[in-house]
Amino acid sequence: KTAFLNGDLAEELWMRQPPGYSNGDPTQACQLLKSVYGLKQAPCCWYEKLAAELGKLGYEPSMSDPALFVKRGSDGSIYVLLYVDDI
């Protein structure tokens, strides 16, 4: 449920105040700094952040499947395959 909540947004996005959070002024809005579940951009933001973190650990995305990350070393290789089911 929280997989997409850690992505950083590259563009400026605004949304109406959520129910229960309104301060009484319907003209005010919230600027989003992080992705939230349901945004079209959320999966892409999440992937970019995860790929950057895995890159810091020495993993590289596969040319044939960007969901497959490979870390090669002198003693062998480690494969990480991502699968996120949004159903």
User: Which tens digit of pLDDT belongs to each residue from 57-77?
Assistant: 999 999 999 899 999 999 999
Structural domains in the chain (count): 1
Domain containing residue 66: 3-81
* Alpha helix ranges (H) inside the chain: 42-56
CA angle at 14 for the pair 8 and 17, rounded to the nearest 5°? 115
Q: How far apart are the C-alpha atoms of 35 and 17, rounded to whole Å?
A: 15
The pLDDT value given to residue 76: 95
Check residue 58 and give left, alpha or beta (phi > 0: left; psi -120 to 50: alpha). left
For the whole model, what pTM was predicted? 0.69
- List pLDDT tens digits, range 7-57: 778 888 888 887 777 677 777 888 888 877 777 777 888 888 889 999 999
For residue 12, is it within any domain? yes
For residue 86, is it within any domain? no
Kind of pairing between the strands at 8-16 and 68-73: unpaired
Specify the higher pLDDT residue, 44 or 4.
44
